[in-house]
Amino acid sequence: MLTSKSGRKHAAMTTLVLSAATVAIYGCGGDNGNQGKQADIKSMTGNLITVDGLSFKDLNHDGKLQPYEDWRLAPEARTSDLLSRMTPVEKAGAMVHATPPSAGTVPGGGSSWDMAGLGQMIGQQGINSFINRLAGPAASLADQANQAQIVAEKSRLGIPVSFSSDPRNHFQTTAGASVDSSGFSQWPETTGLAAIGDADLMRRFGDIARQEYQAVGIQIALSPQADVSTEPRWSRINGTFGEDNQLTKKLVQAYIEGFQNGADGIGRNSVIAVVKHWAGYGAETDGFDGHNYYGRHLTFPGNNFEYHLLPFTGAFAAKAGSVMPTYSMPPAGLLVQGVTGPLEQVGAAFSKQMLTQLLRGRFAFDGVILTDWAVVEDCDNACMNGTAAGVPPSFIGFGTPWGVETLAKSDRFLKALDAGVDQFGGSNEPQYIVDLVNAGKVSVARLDQSAYRILLQKFKQGLFENPYVDTAKATQVVGNSGFQSEALDAQRRSLVLLQNQGAVLPLKTGAGKKVYLYQVAADVAAQYGFTVVARPQDADVAIVRVSAPYQTLHPNYVFGAMQHEGSLAWTDGQADYEAIKSISSVVPTVVSVYMDRPAVLTNVVDKAKAVVANFGVSDKALFDVLTGAAKPQGKLPFELPSSMDEVLAQKSDVASDTAHPLFRMGFGLGY
């Protein structure tokens, strides 16, 4: 006899429904522990069971209702039952968060996956978590997710797949950090949302992105970044909320509440938020990034580690489902409250102090610890030293095992498991975990701890009942006009007016108003009544769009070739700066700077009449503000230094500490 949570008994006799695809939808459904209300279920293989007039999925294909298949039971009970049926191979498979095979130049990217290869990973290796880097129409993304779920439904235990994604709703696209917006509603970078500083808007963004993710079958968001950008040269500032740790805490909490559909943790309408990068990632030495061997070091000259921990408390208050440890290694001798002795100089995924003592202990986190990508992979000579001149870098031979480079791969897995890792991001090789079990180095009970946390979230999300999405609905949801209208409004609100000499803004429009444009769409300017001219000397005003300065200092490293590094100051010879100089010398000029890092504007404000900082903005939203149809409301989420000498003198772990900033954090004019 089967017994539900409340003790009511149900007849064991079952009926197998033979239709190829059946959807059972009765009322409110899916109550997790409540009886008498039919859950919303969908099977694409026809494996349904009827018990007491209610429908259930026959996930293990035996024609009987097993406890883990019974949606009336609590997720915890179902998870325990499923674990009891899994082999060590299947448990190890659940503990890797793999990259699906595809034809894309970026691993897991392109427009479709290799379903045969994906089927092998699901069916033979037991893998059921994958990153989704595909780009394309919403219906195509939804269809790819559904095809993968059909493969999973046919597997031995029918465990559904969970797909994750890096951020998709912004402007900048960098492999390993973000995905092309590809039709999703397009919002300013999170630095721009920080410039607005509105927790309610942040929560609404998360809610909209959640709906778009769910529409295409994405159940996990590899975001937000709770890192504080105290090092102004850092390559990943545009994914943060700036350098104010209290503001970051507030917005991280709201972001997660939006994605997870409330403040009560994971539920049926949640997209799991993976808060990252635990911890101190914003204090990178020289601003280099931890994806790179040369950027693997953190620095805390101001002994300010606690400042970097505080934003994560907002994530814990929102009951974030997962935490991702940082790649980078702490400096020697760093002491942290709640940790025994100085931190070991290894990436946080290998640090028992960081994960077990600090995260699980001091902060009592009980969700999933998911490593960043490729931490157990080898970093070959090209990965460590860069490719030879003329040889383009690639992802082949790329790994991020910082601090444990000399360990064998199996020993990296062992050290990370001992540290407290639940799931290995970017690994397609669960066999290493199985081998550790077979060698007696890791117990099956240790696997159970991690597999339980991972599978429990799938049950709470309702994936065992219905992991499928509606391809037609996906087209209606993703990037719909209502969502995009809200995104455009956020773009407008995020703009920071830094200078407005002679009240040149808002621009006066009307017949005959002539404008010269640099990196601005002429058709958009025409919509606002401007006549676009070919020479700046023929214009009444010029509008110039540029990006914050950067250098490509490490072109022979796969991530160094993509990331913005080095000086924040414009110098003679740079194309954007030459444009600013030449144009402003003959016509009043408005300059808008995309601030993916804090630019030094000292030699720009002395040339431009008006300067507007943006954090990802369309020409339309920009013109709305420049013409006064909307007003600039943003405040700088970080200070803008006055010189590179002062940047070099500041402490990488301390916020707002250049001696004479040109514009202080929180600055912003209006009109």
Q: Where are the domains of the chain?
A: 1-73, 77-477, 495-649
Q: Which is nearest to 289 in space by CA: 547, 648, 561?
A: 561
- 62 assigned to active site: no
Kindly report each contact of residues 607-611 with a partner whose C-beta sits within 8 Å and lies 24 or more positions away, as own/partner: 607/580, 607/581, 608/499, 608/544, 608/580, 608/584, 609/499, 609/500, 609/501, 609/502, 609/504, 609/584, 610/497, 610/499, 610/500, 610/501, 610/504, 610/505, 611/497, 611/498, 611/499
Mean pLDDT over 381-390 rounds to 94
Instruction: Collect all residues with Cβ–Cβ distance below 8 Å to 339 and sequence separation of at least 6.
Output: 353, 354, 357, 358, 362
pLDDT of 174 reads 67
The stretch 339-351 carries a mean pLDDT of 97
pLDDT at residue 274, as a whole number: 98
The predicted pLDDT at position 177 comes to 62
372 in active site: yes
Measured over the CA atoms of residue 67, residue 73, residue 77 and residue 78, the dihedral's sign is positive
Question: 493-509, pLDDT tens digit by residue?
Answer: 999 999 999 999 999 98
Q: Tell me: domain 77-477, CATH 1.10.1060.10, correct?
A: no
Whether omega for the bond prior to residue 232 falls within 30 degrees of 0, making it cis, is no
Among 27-41, 183-197, 473-487, the least confident range: 27-41
Q: Point out the catalytic residue in the list 143, 244, 619, 657.
A: 244
pLDDT for res 8: 34
Which position among 289, 372, 596, 657 bears the catalytic label? 372
pTM: 0.93
Mean residue pLDDT of the chain comes to 93
Residue ranges in 505-601 assigned as alpha helix (H): 522-527, 575-584
Q: CATH for 495-649, among 3.40.50.1700, 3.90.1150.10, 3.30.43.10, 3.40.50.2300?
A: 3.40.50.1700
Backbone angles phi, psi at 593, to 5 degrees: -110, 125
Q: How confident is the model at residue 4 (pLDDT cuts 50, 70, 90)?
A: very low
Q: 272-278 and 220-221: which strand pairing?
A: parallel
54-94: per-residue pLDDT in tens? 999 999 999 999 999 999 999 999 999 999 999 999 999 99
pLDDT at 17: 34
Is a pLDDT exceeding 90 seen at residue 273? Answer: yes
Q: pLDDT class for 45, splitting at 50, 70, 90?
A: confident
pLDDT value, residue 35: 56
